[in-house]
Structure 1
Amino acid sequence: MFLKRIQVQHEKVPSKNKYPFTIPSIKNLDQLEIKNNITFFVGENGTGKSTLLEAIADKCGFNMAGGGRNNYYEVDAAESALGDYIRLSWMPKVTNGFFLRAESFYHFATHIDQVDANYAYGGRSLHKQSHGESFLSLFLNRFKGKAIYLLDEPEAALSPQRQLSFLKILHDLAASGDSQFIIATHSPILLGYPDATIYSFDDGSIQEIDYEMTDHYQITSYFLQHREKMLKDLFNE
């Protein structure tokens, strides 16, 4: 594990009334300890998990539209509003890694075509694979040891079966002891990774939470066990 701590430098913040400090979880954050080489960020949309992940990627020097330190291309609005106000503590610091933004992966795939680097992603253009296949090609071929990987909703392109395949890739890389992952996700399948640290961004602060206590687990579990009742209640029937 490389990244140990994230600190917000509140003394540098010009105004707490401007984004991203209008997000309660970010406004109330002083520091966050990273205790595991597999860490998940969970919470409702807009609670700040992607904002913090983007800021970490910014401080790592990764392309804010997605990629590593050596992927040079631009996408509108691909920037971090928080990056200037956090400090990362490393032991030791690594420069290798990757930032995955599911929403801008198309632009990353185009960049790979333009620089003729498909040999590093299984030898096929990422655009000539299905969305899910291209994500798995990235995970299988680009992710190596001694690196930090920051993934924003990697489940976006993955079927449940391929989410399980991703968990196997995650396990194999983590078992080597020299890969670290921080993942923002809504997937109860990914969150089920054994012994991972889960931080919830709900309720205005960032708190460690057990898997079974996440809304993702509880809502999905209840739906699967009581589907008809839940849908009747939802539709007011």
Structure 2
Amino acid sequence: RELGRLELAHPVTVITGDNGVGKSTLLNAIARGYGFSVTGGTYGNGAPGPRDPLYRAVRLECSVRPKQGYFLRGDTHFGQATRLGNDGPGLENLHHMSHGESILEMVQAFIPDGVYLLDEPEAGLSAVRQLALLSYLHAL
């Protein structure tokens, strides 16, 4: 269904709601509009084509395009970690860490003024690590 206009005017937006209401679909549409791959990963690695239904469903209006970004999807995080290996800035080998630790490692490598789309980043994190995640995001 049509959402209309959705303005994200603050540096951080948290999308919440019950299961099945479309939070991940909305995030995927925003990600495609920015040029992220549907499987997640680094910014600009998945230029959408005109036939991509998520690309056609959203029109982004941005005053400045980000220099860096990352689209974190819990269901594809392992594959993205494999692709990144040790190549990301400040990243150790993500496969030597738990799922939650590797997510925190990724977030610590984020730089200011990027665009970071995180789909259920708290999955696999203890309550203490969830607070650490918030702290890292706040520092950006």
Q: Same fold (TM over 0.5)?
A: yes
**Distance across 1 between alignment mates of 2:40 and 2:56:** 18
Q: 2:14 aligns with which of 40, 57, 61?
A: 40
> Which of structures 1 and 2 has the larger relative contact order (alpha carbons within 8 angstroms, sep 6+)?
1
CA RMSD for the aligned pairs?
A: 1.8
Aligned to 1:125: 93
Runs of 4+ with deviation above 4 angstroms: none
Higher helix share: 1
**TM-superposition CA deviations, 1:42-65 (whole Å, max 9, x none):** 111211111111111111111221
Secondary structure of the corresponding residue to residue 157 of structure 1? coil
TM-score (norm 1): 0.53
What do the CA deviations read for 1:158-179 (whole angstroms, capped 9, x no partner)?
1110000011111110xxxxxx
Distance 1:108 1:69, change over 3 A: same
**Are 2:62 and 1:90 equivalent residues in the alignment?**
yes
Residue-pair matches, total: 135
Cα distance in 2 for residues equivalent to 1:50 and 1:33 = 17
Distance 1:144 1:58 in 2: 21
Alignment of 1:135 with 2:103, yes or no, is yes
Q: How does 1:188-227 map to 2 (within 5 A)?
A: none
Pick from 23, 41, 50 the counterpart of residue 49 of structure 1.
23
Q: AA paired with 2:7? A: E
TM superposition shift of 1:85: 1.8
> TM-score scaled by structure 2?
0.87
8 Å Cα contact 1:101/1:151 also seen in 2:
yes
Counterpart residue number, 1:99: 71
Contact residue 60 and residue 95 of structure 1 kept, 8 A: no
Name stretches of at least 5 consecutive residues in structure 2 with no aligned partner.
47-51
Between the aligned partners of 2:90 and 2:126, the Cα distance in structure 1 is 20
CA distance in 1, matches of 2:53, 2:120: 19
Contact map agreement 2:67 2:113 (CA 8 A) in 1: no
**Runs of 5+ consecutive residues of structure 1 not aligned to the other structure:** 1-26, 73-79, 174-237
Aligned to 1:163: 130
CA offset at residue 70 of structure 1? 5.3
In the TM superposition, what is the alpha-carbon distance from 1:112 to its structure 2 partner?
A: 1.6
| Structure showing greater Rg | 1
Q: Which residue is 2:114 aligned to?
A: 147
